[in-house]
Structure 1
Amino acid sequence: MLINEYTDAHRLFLQASLSERFFTEETAIEIYLQDQETFTEFMTTLNAKLNSIDLEFRKSHNEEDGSAVWALVNTNGDEIAKMATEYTPIEISFFRRLIELIVTADDESFSVSSITALKEVVKLKTSISKSNGEILLQRFVDDKWLSRSRGGRYSLSLRSILELQYYLKKEFEDYLSECILCYDIVTKGQRCEMAQCKARFHHHCARRYFDSKNNKKCPNCEIVWDSSNVIGDCDSIDSGSRPKRSNNQTTKKNTRSQKLEVDYDQMDQDDDDDQMEQNDE
């Protein structure tokens, strides 16, 4: 592919995007100078220059509404380690643990409650107090590493999915699914109701796919597709409760999640026992 010359227009675009690193395609098009190349050519030229320093502008879509977004991401190594300039090692350890809890959550809910998140602060035996833990969680949200739903549950933000993509796929390959249409990671969307079927869609990808079909059938197993069978935090969508799947089986995914729940139940019991001992004294 012929790459156009890297110009001042590309430099200005890069400078304008460094402060955000994450913006809508509409904003990106407004920044670039339209009297130069087409936008696609412009981004190709820019990425060709950035590849030498392990950076690239990557396009994806908001899982909620399907709007196109661009992010400046690192293409080499563990992006979480590069958070060291913003967070302490203890805070990064907490963030890693939150990612694990979110990705391995039961029944593909891909979310964790604030109570569970704060319990993890205690479980990690860090110097972070509960009140500071709440502040840190809000900071993760403000920095767009996590999203918080109306019901107070935390999930991966689009920034995390884009910038931590290599880390997520490497560490949690057995727990993550790709959208059958766009092949991006899907943590909010729809799934086939058959437990053995791997078909997953983002909500906007499902609409795009089924709008051209006379019958809504799973593209994998051809069972009738039920758009109310969702994955992700139900508080962030209009469908409300999560329906049960047909022929559900205990899988590696929910087995690990159940173990996490048992750990928290045991921790609650230990706290109760400690309180009873103090009362006896």
Structure 2
Amino acid sequence: METYEEQASIPVAGDATAKYLLQYILSARGICHENALILALMRLETDALRFDAERSMQQWIDKLNDYINAINVKLNLLGYKIIRINHGIGRNAVTLKNKQNFELLGNNTAARTHGSDVADSHEMVLPESNRFFVYINSTSTEETKLATRFSQNEIEFIKWAIEQFMINGKTVIEGPVSDTSVIVKEVNRILIAATGDPDFKKWGKFSTFSVGSTDLLQFQELTAIEIEDLLLRLCELKWFYRTMEGRFGIDLRCIAELEEYLTSKYNVNTCQNCHKLAIQGVRCGNESCRDEDDETEENSSPQIWHIDCFKHYITHVSKNCALCGSLLITDGTYVL
């Protein structure tokens, strides 16, 4: 298997900027937030004496996308590509997290981050974004993708753990919902805006595609220390994520690499708005919400949305579930 450093030497385009952007993505373990790449592009343009202070943020985004497309033309010949994927927790939550990561000043201040003189005396404002760029192998099967990084026992653990996540996500739990969850906060913010009621009563149901660390230690083919070490590596590679409460779930790289496999093997519903895999967001709270044309019981679960997709749906489409007619404002389930 080629290392990221070796892959970064792949000739991608005549313009050196494209090569450096690819190197930047690979140096970030193959996954990079849109705003980080915009800042990198600004710095590269500055170093090349091509920085245009009059360029709008949308023009910077368009220019970045042009470079990514050019990179993909070359990568496609080698069986790789960079895909764009939106995080299910939504633009607002991701932006708040990135403000901390980038140490931005004030209201999402941008281009002069990290002491850079990217924008000279001008100040650019980074957009709210939940978009990430992920470098993936586009030709291998799920088995061979895993085999490039993990031993056979580790692969078996990963497949087993993913199965636990997906099975657990189908169970709805009634009871107190954590006020510290970023998803609960975002959904409640959206519901308050939709109803105009600051005292809106939050929902009392949730489901989660995550599993506690103790449960994951039950895998028999690896020792507890080996599992803990593997979980740490999986989180570093953005295959799994770990919550403050010590629960693990599927992260963006796993979704990007294995989305088709996950949706087909585990018969999970995709987001009703964007039709992508949704393992964080909102579900219709009516457990009788079923597609009458779907004869497979396993696949006939309630409709589900990512955070931003849910906001769009109740704001611009309907406040009722299109499948069962339930009022989503009062009858919903957090998907944590």
Please report the TM-score for the alignment, with normalisation by the length of structure 1: 0.70
Q: How does 1:14-93 map to 2 (within 5 A)?
A: 14-20=22-28, 21-32=30-41, 38-66=63-91, 67-93=130-156
Matched, 1:202 2:319: no
Alpha-carbon separation, structure 1, partners of 2:331 and 2:67: 40
Amino acid of the structure 2 residue aligned with 1:43: I
Contact 2:321/2:328 (<8 A) preserved: yes
Task: Tell me the secondary structure at the aligned position of residue 212 of structure 1.
Answer: helix
Query: Is 1:131–2:225 an aligned residue pair?
Result: yes
Aligned residue type for 1:222: G
Match of 1:101 in 2: 164
Once the two structures are TM-superposed, the CA of residue 202 in structure 1 deviates from its matched residue by 0.7
Matched, 1:13 2:29: no
Aligned residues: 221
How far apart are 1:185 and its partner, in Å?
0.6
Alignment gaps of 5+ in structure 1: 234-281
Report matched runs for 1:116-155 at 5 Å. 116-119=215-218, 121-122=219-220, 126=221, 128-155=222-249
* Superposed CA RMSD: 2.5
Cα gap change, 1:208 to 1:196, in 2 (>3 Å):
closer
Give yes or no for contact 1:192–1:226 (8 Å, CA) kept in 2: no
Query: How far did 1:231 drift?
Result: 5.0
Q: What residue ranges of structure 2 are gaps of 5+ in the alignment? A: 1-12, 52-61, 92-129, 172-206, 291-301
Provide TM-score, normalisation by structure 2.
0.59
**Could you say what secondary structure the match of 1:112 adopts?**
strand
* Percentage identity across paired residues of the two chains: 24
Q: Measure the CA separation in 1 of the matches of 2:161 and 2:312.
A: 32
Q: Does the CA-based 8 Å contact 2:283-2:333 persist in structure 1? A: yes
Residue pair 1:73, 1:163 contacting (<8 A) in 2 also: yes
1:115 aligns with 2:241: no
1:131 deviation in Å?
2.9
Structure 1, 135-144 or 176-185: larger mean CA deviation: 135-144
Q: Name the CA distance, whole Å, in 2 between partners of 1:30 and 1:178.
A: 32
Q: 1:30 to 1:82 in 2, by over 3 A?
A: same
Q: CA shift at 1:181, angstroms?
A: 1.4
Deviation at 1:200, TM superposition (A): 1.2
